[in-house]
Amino acid sequence: MPSPYRAIFAAPGTKGFSAAGFLGRMPLSMMGIGVVTMVSQITGRYGLAGALSATLAMSAAVLGPQVSRLVDRHGQRRILRPVTLVALAAVAGLLISAQQRLPDWTLFVFAAGAGCVPSVGSMIRARWAEIYRGSPQQLHTAYSWESIVDEVCFIFGPIISIGLSTAWFPEAGPLLAAGFLLVGVVWLTAQRATEPVPHPREQHTDGSALRSPGLQVLVGTFVATGAIFGAVDVVTVAFAEDQGHKAAASLVLAVYALGSCLAGAVFGLLRPKGRASTRWLVGVCAMAVSMIPLQLAGSLPFLAVALFVAGLAIAPTMVTTMALVEQHVPRTKLTEGMTWTSTGLAVGVALGSSAAGWVVDASGAKAGYAVPTVAGALAAAVAFLGYRRLAKPVPTGRRGEDDRHLRTDDDERVA
């Protein structure tokens, strides 16, 4: 491990919560694509599969920030365990309904219930922010490390989920994803020493973290960015099936994540200069441009190369996004703020996967790659229009007030 990464793990407890976060985030890469694979295996209907994946994502988009707001107020352990049990019960209902060929509406009901899956990645990043508060370089490296972990999940998650669902039984992928979630959340919440201090007094102050103009730009852009990811997942599975190698879709999507993983590893070793907002704008535009070559895909090897190149822009943009969230959101609402970016992605994944599923059903798999291309153009447009909001400095008075709250809470904890 390069020395900057080794250095961030010198703090006690960091290895444990990062490892737990890895397991807890595996469902992020396994559940949606697992549902698509499961439903397409059972029914052959990509439109239904995409709509269910979209329902799951939209539900997470609605419920996720509310869960994270409760976490900021009451702590991770107190909130994460009960909501995880609710999510697991809903996933179980979804799998049983699919296996028993129950009416379509039952699938949508349980998919909506499964949306209360907590944003484990936000919980982990909030712990890093608590440990390396005031150390921007270490926090940059920590966020880069977590981006690498995200991409490792997306390298192996789809392979495992699609592979099990196609080689064993259709429900196997989502079932294992649920198991990862249970183990990851229980392990994470057992680690109390690194848990951020909750701020119950914030329930009586000024509303949601989404009131920040800068966060609004990030979330809006990530809706379009999420549409890229959702559409690429669905269309790639359909494209691989057209090519006669449906199981190979997991390998192609893993290559997409591998490109992001390598870029994130390198980015974490750098000391970025200049404005984070400018780096973020360049990253969003690079993601948009990288969707254009997908229109030329005629084979799985060409598609894999194109997606690898496209993946190079993802992790650096995500890392910079987390830095911008920290700049534009009060620290006492940091978990909620980070979850709102995940929410933007989830909404986009819902829209992208649903749109891609209908395009594939109507016009074929190759035509489906028009969806991520359009989504990329929208992401770049929103980023350009909102850039000035991100470039504005955060009001120091508000930040100082948050720091006073933190010092008071720390004093109370010591007392």
Enter the tokens of residue 123. Answer: 């919980």
H-only helix segments in 168-274: 172-189, 213-242, 249-269
Q: Is residue 241 part of a domain?
A: yes
Q: Is residue 8 part of a domain?
A: no
Under DSSP, the state recorded for 140 is H
94-149, pLDDT tens digit by residue? Answer: 999 888 888 888 989 998 888 788 888 888 988 988 888 878 788 888 888 888 88
Q: What does 254-280 look like in DSSP terms, one character per residue?
A: HHHHHHHHHHHHHHHHS---S-HHHHH
pLDDT of residue 181: 93
Average pLDDT of the residues of the chain: 82
> What is the pLDDT confidence band of residue 408, given thresholds at 50, 70 and 90?
very low
Q: Is residue 30 part of a domain?
A: yes
Q: Which residue has the higher pLDDT, 281 or 205?
A: 281
CATH number of the domain where residue 325 is located: 1.20.1250.20
User: Cβ(34)–Cβ(161) under 8 Å?
Assistant: yes
- What is the rounded distance in angstroms from the CA atom of residue 11 to the CA atom of residue 41? 46
Q: Is residue 194 part of a domain?
A: no
Mean pLDDT of 323-351: 79
What's the residue count for the chain?
415
pTM (two decimals): 0.74
Distances from the Cα of 186 to the Cαs of 77, 83, 213, 264, 285, in angstroms?
Answer: 9, 12, 35, 28, 39
Q: Is residue 3 part of a domain?
A: no
**Which of 44-48, 86-90, 188-192 has the weakest average pLDDT?**
44-48
Q: Is residue 29 part of a domain?
A: yes
Structurally, the chain folds into a number of domains equal to: 1
- What is the rounded distance in angstroms from the CA atom of residue 101 to the CA atom of residue 392? 53
Q: What does 147-167 look like in DSSP terms, one character per residue?
A: HHHHHHHHHHHHHHHHHHHHH
Residue 320 belongs to domain spanning: 15-188+208-399
pLDDT of residue 411: 37
User: Cβ(317)–Cβ(344) under 8 Å?
Assistant: no
User: Cβ(288)–Cβ(377) under 8 Å?
Assistant: yes
Q: Is residue 352 part of a domain?
A: yes
271-287: string of b/e by CB count within 10 Å (b at 16+)? ebeeebbebbbebbbbb
Q: Is residue 334 part of a domain?
A: yes
